[in-house]
Structure 1
Amino acid sequence: MASPLDDRTRAIISACVPALQAHGLAITTEMYRRLLSSPDIRGLFNMSHQRDGEQPRALALAVLAYARNIDSPGALSAMVERIAQKHAGLNILPQHYPYVAEALLGAIAHVLGDAATPEIMEAWGKAYWFLAEILIGREEQIYVAHAAAPGGWVGWRAFRVRDRQAESADVTSFELVPQDGGPVMRHVPGQYLGFRLDVPGQGEECRNYSISSAPDDRHYRISVRRIDKGIVSDWLHDSVDEGTVVQVSAPAGDFTLDSPPPGPIVFLSAGVGLTPFISMLGALDAAGATVPVRYIHGTRGPKAEAFGDYIRDLAARGRIRADIFYSRETPPQAGSAPAGVTWHDGRITPQWLKTQVDPRATCYICGPDGFMRDMIATLKAAGVPEARIRYEFFGPAADAALAG
């Protein structure tokens, strides 16, 4: 267990909040420049998030939140758990932490210059290792649980693509089975897999993809949207076929379905944000859950709608009530909608959502950051308690409203 920080250290870190507000992004950008110069570390990061600046912005928000809550670290428990789960998905180990310490402290000294006094640098060194020890301890618990679970493993395990299936114009599913022929750890609906991929011409790339299949002990499925100029998504769509072998880490993530569900459920998604919900819906269907389930999804049009047949089947069998919004193409004629499905023209709006959501429901949200921010604010305004608003984002949380 990490030793508590002393009063002087906490006071210095708190006093740094204005400097972090002014220079936090410059510090984290410089930190990543230093960190990624090491070949031992570079392969652990999604480089596309470096190029578009998302990762440095997300880390700047996290560092600022840490400084603001240095006197009450318990307020950051959700953020710490999210980070630990992400690290477990990438197989981050204790020996990686000194690289980050050197890069972060060096970046603080570089950006702040003479303002980075020895006292400030000492305080940040202590604060970094205090948080690092908490993360290392939690990550070790996750790895121990993975090793002990039936079909579980620690580190990278070879999986073979058994099947691929086009789900829409730009989403393809890949069914994965272990190359060793053994069982797999049953995931909790909503979790993701970490991947270490050797992309020709690009080298090693790491990614996380939500599991889109219901839990079982033989295989996983991921469903990936092709991103414009996406290094990994293009490779997956264009080159990965049946028989391709990829390296996979055990399921991780804390955006998971309550079991059993305590009451009504709302799944609220946009675009490929539906993937964890497909796993959750599969689990609920297999368990014969009787709670009311509302599925609300925004997509560009019928050709872009992934898993549309599956959703219509669930609705026809009375398992869910579905609302599908088409933002760029005209929806099918309203009279042709199957039982349990309503088609809408346009985007999901706060005005519409306020009239639809049961305040007793647990609401799960996944999609672009702006979409989630608007939906979360709407749900709160509609009277849904914050504890029953759950959300997951793809990649780093570069939005202050989602970073906590």
Structure 2
Amino acid sequence: MNEQQKALVKGTVPVLKENGVLLTTHFYERMFKHNPELKHVFNMGNQQNKKQQTALAMAVLAYAEHIDNPGILMPVVDSIGQKHTSLDIRPEQYAIVGGHLIASISEVLGDAASEDLLKAWEQAYHELAQLMSGHEQKLYKEKSTKSGGWVGWRPFRVEKKIKESAEITSFYLYPTDNGPVADFLPGQYVSLRLFLPELGLLQPRQYSISCKPNGIYYRISVKKEIGAKQPDGMISNRLHQHIEEGAIIDLSAPSGNFILKQGETSPQVFISGGIGQTPLLSMLEHLVDRKSPVPITWIHGCRNEQVHAFKQHLHHISSQHGKLQQHIFYDVVSDSKTGDILPGWVSLNKIPEEFLYRQAQYYICGPGPFIKTHYNYLLSIGISKDSIHFEEFGPASISAA
């Protein structure tokens, strides 16, 4: 891009801040109208709840703001690239997306979209697509060359289906070809796709791997969305209600950059809400398997004892790791419970100071407001931003900026 084109793109920043979601909503509606086959690739639940439109608006805005130095966005590029490779997105699909994005800019801005502005954004998108697809090709190569790795979709068999609580069920997934499966970094996820008769579409969803790497199978632990009739809960509920032991489902290779930092000798603190414990459980199992001597603090919150998954498993892990301290919060505590359960939502100020280590690595997973609350609290007590890692399930709506 030349300097004039960069200036034109940066000049759209105020418009994107005010009307970014309007633009991306128009873009998705246009794209699905002209290319309905892409409905099989995109999570239509995130379309309905507007999370995808918001996430794309944030990404487009960030790119416009940093058009002089897009390399600063590499952490975001990697996060998006991880998701794209888990969905088997290919370079040729960037051309389809780009065509609809530029057309949407023209249609939404109307007379304000000059020919020069559209050409500037066309060039900007071309360079972004090159950056993204180039990074994704590296990720695909890593997946294909890893022992037990693959690209695209691979059939897996549900070997075991185990109820972990009133709402959460684990699925043990083995490849139908009986070959090995790629190891993964604790905290990563797999994409799974099922056909949804209600929508007449194949739909992909990401689920964290909830076990340690073992080279044989993956375990995902899925929350049933009680009463959910929207697309974002349909896949989880279909797994609960219709997918039994012996069923075959397609998986993509593990992806994701919310991972346990390797080689760490500092204490580890895990903070989760509800189903957010699944990637953290993989990290914890890995540390225990490696006989890591570091102190570990496990902080978890859920509604009550009935929905608290992996209770006994965590007790077993505690017996293996002498330096693991658990702090469990229930929204509602039954009269029969002893003082080992803290009432109410997770509150870090109720955790004894000696278990919130100053030099620890912190991992937070849960809903966006849950993450924001605990991220800000940790900053307020002097924990370095670089030591706090988080993942919000679904398209990102928060950042550490």
Opposite residue 274 of structure 1, the aligned amino acid is Q
Judge conservation of contact 1:302–1:331 (CA < 8 Å) in 2: no
1:206 paired residue among 204, 210, 234: 204
Q: Secondary structure at the match of 2:357?
A: coil
Partner of 2:280: 277
Partner of 2:26: 30
* Distance in 2, Cα, partners of 1:222 & 1:290: 27
* Distance in 1, Cα, partners of 2:368 & 2:332: 19
Instruction: Work out whether 1:181 is the aligned partner of 2:184.
Output: no
* Distance in 2, Cα, partners of 1:51 & 1:331: 41
- CA deviations on 1:215-252 (whole Å, 9 max, x unpaired) are 01110000111124121111110010111111110000
Partner of 2:88: 91
* Distance in 1, Cα, partners of 2:239 & 2:64: 40
Partner of 2:191: 194
Judge conservation of contact 2:304–2:330 (CA < 8 Å) in 1: yes
* Distance in 2, Cα, partners of 1:119 & 1:352: 57
* Distance in 1, Cα, partners of 2:204 & 2:72: 30
Q: Secondary structure at the match of 2:71?
A: helix
1:101 paired residue among 98, 101, 107: 98
Judge conservation of contact 1:331–1:345 (CA < 8 Å) in 2: no
- CA deviations on 1:15-62 (whole Å, 9 max, x unpaired) are 111010111010000111112231331111111111111110111111
2:337 paired residue among 329, 333, 337: 333
Instruction: Point out the more displaced range, 345-354 or 313-322.
Output: 345-354
> How do 1:358-373 and structure 2 match up within 5 A?
358-373=357-372
Instruction: Work out whether 1:389 is the aligned partner of 2:361.
Output: no
2:163 paired residue among 152, 162, 166: 166
Judge conservation of contact 1:189–1:279 (CA < 8 Å) in 2: yes
* Distance in 1, Cα, partners of 2:150 & 2:336: 46
2:17 paired residue among 14, 17, 21: 21
| Cα separation, partners in 2 of 1:9 and 1:387, compared to 1, 3 Å | same
Unmatched 5+ stretches in structure 2: none
Partner of 2:300: 297
Instruction: Work out whether 1:346 is the aligned partner of 2:344.
Output: yes
Instruction: Work out whether 1:82 is the aligned partner of 2:86.
Output: no
Judge conservation of contact 2:327–2:351 (CA < 8 Å) in 1: no
Opposite residue 20 of structure 1, the aligned amino acid is L
2:127 paired residue among 130, 133, 138: 130
Instruction: Work out whether 1:219 is the aligned partner of 2:208.
Output: no
Instruction: Point out the more displaced range, 210-219 or 195-204.
Output: 195-204
Partner of 1:8: 4
1:321 paired residue among 320, 325, 328: 325
Report how far residue 13 of structure 1 moved.
1.3
Instruction: Work out whether 1:247 is the aligned partner of 2:250.
Output: yes
Partner of 1:45: 42
- CA deviations on 1:66-116 (whole Å, 9 max, x unpaired) are 111222323212111100001011011101101110121111111111111
| Cα separation, partners in 2 of 1:358 and 1:232, compared to 1, 3 Å | same
Report how far residue 360 of structure 1 moved.
0.6
Opposite residue 395 of structure 1, the aligned amino acid is G
Partner of 1:142: 139
- CA deviations on 1:270-329 (whole Å, 9 max, x unpaired) are 010000011111111110001111110111111111111111222233251110010134
Instruction: Point out the more displaced range, 155-164 or 322-331.
Output: 322-331
Report how far residue 332 of structure 1 moved.
5.3
| Cα separation, partners in 2 of 1:263 and 1:121, compared to 1, 3 Å | same
* Distance in 2, Cα, partners of 1:213 & 1:350: 26
* Distance in 1, Cα, partners of 2:338 & 2:204: 43
Instruction: Point out the more displaced range, 193-202 or 114-123.
Output: 193-202
* Distance in 2, Cα, partners of 1:374 & 1:354: 18
Q: Secondary structure at the match of 2:120?
A: helix
Partner of 1:338: none
* Distance in 2, Cα, partners of 1:357 & 1:72: 37
Opposite residue 124 of structure 1, the aligned amino acid is W
Judge conservation of contact 2:333–2:341 (CA < 8 Å) in 1: no
Identity of aligned residues (%): 38
| Cα separation, partners in 2 of 1:22 and 1:94, compared to 1, 3 Å | same
Opposite residue 207 of structure 2, the aligned amino acid is Y
Q: Secondary structure at the match of 2:332?
A: coil
* Distance in 2, Cα, partners of 1:216 & 1:247: 19
* Distance in 2, Cα, partners of 1:99 & 1:353: 51
